[in-house]
Amino acid sequence: MRHAGTQEIETPRLLLRRLMPSDAPMMYANWANDPEVTRWLRWTPHKDVAETQELLSAWALLYPNEDYYQWAIVEKATGQVFGSISIFTSSSVEPERDPWPGFDHSNGVWEVGYCIGRAWWGKGCTTEALNALVEYWFKNTDSNWLACSHAVENPASGKVMMKAGFVYDHEAVYHKFDGTAIPCKCYALTRERYKEQPLRQR
């Protein structure tokens, strides 16, 4: 599979760029310390800025890898780093069966994940970032599809996925890092469907 790594992406309101250790204070203040933001994510709220900085320092070491995709979401008007969006290889949550029948996942299942601070909810920022990432993925890699999932109890995230062209495929159970089970809905977007989307979505 051809990879492109984490390159800078610009949209009308946003700049997507690599996260740096110096982003720790804004990441901690804007979303990483908020239990409402992390409620359906696999990780728990950070205890302090030092924890955030340690994580960002570890991520910084991975950026030279072309198959590593992790962006900060920056509001261009204010310079605020208010969220993150990534593409990662997810593993089957139900190993006894294939959760993606009909899809080629010989190169792994590549899935989008994102979270943004509460102050930016409901403003279309996540949709704008996701649309940009979808375009980046299909223009810069040779992958034929992309996955996405959200907690069943977080339908607002599903609306974002559908606005970006993702189609519901199946339900599954993901687990937080502490083992807590989270029922999820899983979506997929194929290269063919992406090409059929109106230009305004791309």
Confirm whether pTM is higher than 0.85: yes
Helix (H), strand (E) at residue 113: strand 109-116
Write out the H or E segment, with its range, that includes residue 59. Answer: helix 49-60
pLDDT at 201: 54
Contact assessment for residue 33 and residue 46, using Cβ atoms and an 8 Å cutoff: yes
The 10s digit of each residue's pLDDT in 59-96 is 999 999 999 999 999 999 999 999 999 999 965 445 55
Length of the chain: 202
Dihedral angle computed from the Cα positions of residues 34, 36, 41 and 44, in that order, rounded to the nearest 10 degrees: 40
User: What pLDDT is recorded for position 56?
Assistant: 97
Output the average pLDDT for the chain.
92
Question: Could you tell me the pLDDT band of residue 40, with boundaries at 50, 70 and 90?
Answer: confident
Site of tokens 């605020």: 80
Looking at domain 9-201, what is its CATH homologous superfamily? Gcn5-related N-acetyltransferase (GNAT) (3.40.630.30)
